[in-house]
Amino acid sequence: MGKILDRNQIRFYREQGYLVAEDIFDPLHLDETLAHFNLAFAQQLERLALPVADGPLVEALHCNMAALLGANVALYLATLRMCSKLYGVYRLMTAERLRDAAADLGIVTPLFQTTPVLHLMSKKLVIPGGYQGFDVHQDWTSVQGSLDTITTWIPFMDIDPQLFTMEVMPGSHLLGLLSGDQQQHVLRVDQKHFKEDDFVPVCVGKGGVCLMSNFTIHRSSREGDDRLRISISGRYENASEPTFIEREYPFTQQKSMQRGLITENFPSVEQVRDVYAVAGEGF
């Protein structure tokens, strides 16, 4: 493993509960993954006989996402879920430089309890009756594994304070687990634990990452212009953290599988054979 973080960065993380590390990912890998996102939305628009936007990648993706959302909300959400499972997302989460940075912060034996989560913020992509972003919370309750678990927040573009960035409360990890109100997706931290001016925006360059303690208070910023912000987050847990060992490796998230056929009478024999057909040859 290579050394990624210097002594000052490691100290900053321990004291403040978060750290921005630049030049962790190859920007070409980020662009390739965005292109695959765009392809997914374009494929569905073409299937619906709707126009597909082209041009600069992020702008085209933004337009195509908005078009599919306007046409079919359920299909838009299904496409987003599929995008979060693409190879490019996992390549970022398992990048060697990210793994080495986590090791510099003490993650001796990394494990992934959760799959990566795709986050996006855009004024054009607000689901009717839905929401965007998360209120003030800590990530600990979503995994409850090793005490030193690191949240990795990876944006696909340069992030500035006007791009619906994440906001953190420096040093809040040292308060430990805080009381709050359980919401659908997060345990919202009680307002008695923070003030509005406690939060600072996280600005990360394309190819960088924000590393954050699972106990750091944070939220999604509501400050943003008309641009699209896409990021993924994941958890680097530590299978060698003493309390995790002592508690016999508890996990909050379990696998489940839908038994039986999702689509009745699919696939036909002909459809299967078409997949493996060799040009000019038949069965």
Per-residue model confidence (pLDDT) at position 256 = 84
- 121-144 pLDDT tens trace: 999 998 876 555 678 999 999 899
Domain boundaries, the chain: 7-25+95-252, 27-87
Task: Tally Cβ neighbours within 10 Å of residue 54.
Answer: 12
- For domain 7-25+95-252, which architecture applies? Sandwich (2.60)
What does the pLDDT read at residue 129?
60
**Degrees to nearest 5, angle at CA 113 with 260 and 187:** 100
What is the model's pLDDT at position 78? 97
Q: Specify the pTM.
A: 0.91
3-state secondary structure the chain: CCCCCCHHHHHHHHHHCEEEECCCCCHHHHHHHHHHHHHHHHHHHHHCCCCCCCCCHHHHHHHHHHHHHHHCHHHHHHHHHHHCCCHHHHHHHCCHHHHHHHHHCCCCCEECCCCCEEEEECHHHCCCCCCCCCCCECCHHHHCCCCCCEEEEEECCCCCCCECCEEECCCHHHHCCCCEEECCCCEEECHHHCCHHHCEECCCCCCCEEEEECCCCEEECCCECCCCEEEEEEEEEECCCHHHHHCCCCCCCCCCCCCCCCCCCCCCHHHHHHHHCCCCCCC
- pLDDT for 222 equals 83
Q: Can you list the residues of the chain whose pLDDT is less than 70?
A: 129-133, 184-185, 278-283
CA angle 68, 70, 75 (to 5 degrees): 45
Residue 76 in contact with residue 69, Cβ under 8 Å? yes
Neighbour-count burial of 121, counting CB atoms closer than 10 A to its CB (0-12 exposed, 13-18 middle, 19+ buried): buried
Structure confidence by residue, pLDDT tens digits, 191-227: 899 999 999 999 999 999 999 999 999 998 888 899 9
- The pLDDT value recorded for residue 125 is 94
